[in-house]
Structure 1
Amino acid sequence: MRSRRVIMIVGNGEVPEGAAATIDAADLVIRFNDCRSVGRGGTRTDVVAVCNTGRPALSMLGGGRWKTSAPVRQAREIWSVRSAAKFAAMRAALANTHPDLDDFCDDYTTGFESFARATGRPHRIVPAATHERLEQDLARFGPAPYVAPSSGLVVIADILSGIASADDEIVLAGFGHSGWEWHPFAAERRYVDALAAAGRLRRLNPLPTSDLSQGA
C-alpha cells in the first residue's frame, strides 16, 4: 500500500515566512513557470507546471534563462497546464471579445515536449476534461466574466481529480488569488476556501514552531 504523501502546490504569490523547511520536506513539490516561489518558499522542485500558450510560453522557451534555472533543472517532470485543443477552440470568440489577446491561444506545447525529451524527463499535459470540470465547479461561485482560470487553479483541480490519493494531504502556499485581470480570482478564492472547508486541502499559513518542525 502506498504511504500517505504531502503534496505541496506552491504558487508565485507571497509565501509565509518560515515555510521553506516545511515546503522542502513535502513528498511532492509543484511550482509554476519561472518558479518565483523559490527562496522564501524553499528550493525543492519536483514538477514545474508551465503555461504552454501565449506570451508566457514564448518567453520561457525563447531564451536559455528559464531552461537553465535551478528549479527547472532540478524538476523531475514538466507539465503543460493548458489543453491545446480547448484553447484553440477559444480563439474565434476571443478575437471578438478580447482582440488584444490575439496571441493568447498560440500553442507552444511541442516546445515543452521537446525540451523535456531532450533533458530525459516526462512531459505531461493536463487533460481538457480537467478544464471542463473546473469551469463547471467555478460557475457555482459566480465568477465575473473571465478568459481562463489561472494555471494554479487548474493544477489544483488536476491533483484532486486523480493524481492525489484519498490519503494524501494537499497543501497550498503562495496563492494570493490576485494578478492578471482576466483570471476569475475572486471566484477562485471562494472555490479554494470551499475545498479547504470540506477538508480536501489546506493552506500553509504562518505556523507555530511545532508545526514547522513536523515536515512531511
Structure 2
Amino acid sequence: MTSSLFGGRKIGTIAIVGNGPVSVADAPEIDRCDLVLRFNSAPALGAAGQRVDVLMLNRARVYMAKRINPLALHRAPEVWVNDIQENGEVDWLFARECKPTYLGFGPKDKARAHLKEYDPFDTSQPTSGASIIAELLDVAPEVKIHLFGFTHQGKQHTHDWNAEKEWVEQLVQEGRIIRHLTPGPKPQRSLAGKVEYGLRWLEKRAKHYLHNKLLHSGASTKRRIFGRGG
C-alpha cells in the first residue's frame, strides 16, 4: 500500500511505538516492520529497537531538540508534526536533520470522530498516538498496524485515556490493528549504545545551542527555547 505520507514507498507493516514499556521480546519485532514511527522524546529508541523512520511531534515545539533522544534526531529521516505549520515550525536542527511534514488538523479531527462513541461530550484532545492511528486507518487501510508501548496512561489531563483505550481495544477485537503486550523485562542499552547516546547528546546540544542561541534565531524564538532574556 502506498500513501502520500509514505513518499511513494510500499508499506505493508507499521510499528507505532509509544513511550510506555516494551519488552525485550518485542524489540526485534519493532525493527522488522516496514516503517517504524516513534513519538516526541522517543525514550526507548536504542533499547527497545534500533530503528526510527518517522518521529512524530504533538506540535512544533521549538525547544524539543534539547530534550529529545539524540539517537532519534540523528536516525529519523522524517519528522511529522501533528499540527499546521502556521502554529510554529520545527526548529533549525529538525529542519536540517529530518524532513518535516505538517499533518494539519486532519488526524486530530479523524481521531475525535472515532472517539466520540467513547467520549460523547467530546471534551478531550486526542493524543498523537490516536491521531496517527486514525489517519493511517483512513489513508492506508490495508497496512497492518502494530502497536508497542501503549499503556493509555499519562499525566496530561487534556487526554481521555479511557476513551482511547476502549477505542484501541475495539480495533484489536476487529482485527484492524495488532497490539503487543508481551510480558518480560524492558530492554537495556548496551555499553556501546550508552556511549553512542552520550556522544550524540553532546553533538545535538552543541548544534542546537550554537545555531539557536548564537547565530540565526530571532529574539522571540530564543525566548521560547531558552526562557526569559534568551
TM-score by length of 2: 0.67
* Structure 1 CA distance for aligned equivalents of residues 11 and 125 of structure 2: 32
Aligned to 1:9: 16
Q: 1:111 aligns with which of 90, 96, 103?
A: 90
Aligned to 1:159: 136
Q: Aligned with 1:118: secondary structure?
A: helix
CA RMSD for the aligned pairs? Answer: 2.6
Q: 2:174 aligns with which of 198, 201, 208?
A: 198
Quote how far apart the aligned CAs of 1:128 are.
1.6
Gap regions ≥5 residues in structure 2: 3-9, 184-230
Over residues 48-99 of structure 1, what are the superposed CA-to-partner deviations in whole Å (9 max), with x where a residue is unaligned? 001215xxx24314x3x53x811221012110012467xxxxxxxxxxxxxx
Over residues 6-49 of structure 1, what are the superposed CA-to-partner deviations in whole Å (9 max), with x where a residue is unaligned? 20000001113311111111110000011012244212110000
TM-score by length of 1: 0.71
1:11-50 superposed matches below 5 A: 11-50=18-57
* CA 147–58 in structure 1, closer or farther in 2 if over 3 Å, else same: farther
Over residues 79-127 of structure 1, what are the superposed CA-to-partner deviations in whole Å (9 max), with x where a residue is unaligned? 0012467xxxxxxxxxxxxxxxxxxxxx33x124x544423x4211223
Paired residue type of 1:129: G
Q: 1:59 aligns with which of 56, 63, 68?
A: 63
* Structure 2 CA distance for aligned equivalents of residues 45 and 122 of structure 1: 13
* CA 145–43 in structure 1, closer or farther in 2 if over 3 Å, else same: same
The aligned length equals 176
Residue identity (%): 29
Aligned to 1:100: none
Conserved 8 A contact 1:143-1:187 = no
* Structure 1 CA distance for aligned equivalents of residues 123 and 141 of structure 2: 31
Gap regions ≥5 residues in structure 1: 86-106, 208-216
Conserved 8 A contact 2:94-2:100 = yes
* Structure 2 CA distance for aligned equivalents of residues 173 and 145 of structure 1: 26
Conserved 8 A contact 1:24-1:43 = yes
> Quick check: which has more Rg, 1 or 2?
2
* Structure 1 CA distance for aligned equivalents of residues 11 and 56 of structure 2: 23
* Structure 2 CA distance for aligned equivalents of residues 144 and 174 of structure 1: 28
* CA 143–72 in structure 1, closer or farther in 2 if over 3 Å, else same: farther
Conserved 8 A contact 1:130-1:161 = no
* Structure 1 CA distance for aligned equivalents of residues 122 and 166 of structure 2: 16
Q: Aligned with 1:186: secondary structure?
A: helix
In the alignment, is residue 174 of structure 1 matched against residue 178 of structure 2?
A: no
Conserved 8 A contact 2:112-2:122 = no
